Amino acid sequence: MVVRAAGYRVRVHGGGHYNTFLALEAADPKLFARQAAYFNACREKRNELSYEMAGVVSELEAEELLREVPEFETAVSRWVDARHPELV
């Protein structure tokens, strides 16, 4: 939602998920840089897990991701409310 509301459109081909996190950071670097980097690192781990080997992601990392997602959801909601209330 942030990416589209900020005027970006991520193409499906050629690194769509990678580009999504770049666009997220570009939308509001102060607010989303840390989370964009974090979720991109998770994407890289998922690629390792999916394409190279099993056991790459620890239980602790999975729990950390589950804690991070609600924080990100809150940040997105606040950003949309402040910048694009017409979308609420």
pLDDT band for 77, please (50, 70, 90 cuts): very high
Tell me the DSSP string of the chain. Answer: -HHHHTT----STTTHHHHHHHHHHHH-HHHHHHHHHHHHHHHHHHHHHHHT-S--S-HHHHHHHHHHHHHHHHHHHHHHHHH-GGG-
pLDDT over 70 (residue 86): yes
Instruction: Kindly report the number of other CB atoms within 10 A of residue 86's CB atom.
Output: 7
Q: What is the pLDDT of residue 22?
A: 94
What is the value of pTM for the model shown? 0.84
Dump pLDDT digits (tens) for 18-75.
Answer: 999 999 999 999 999 999 999 999 999 888 876 667 777 888 999 999 999 999 999 9
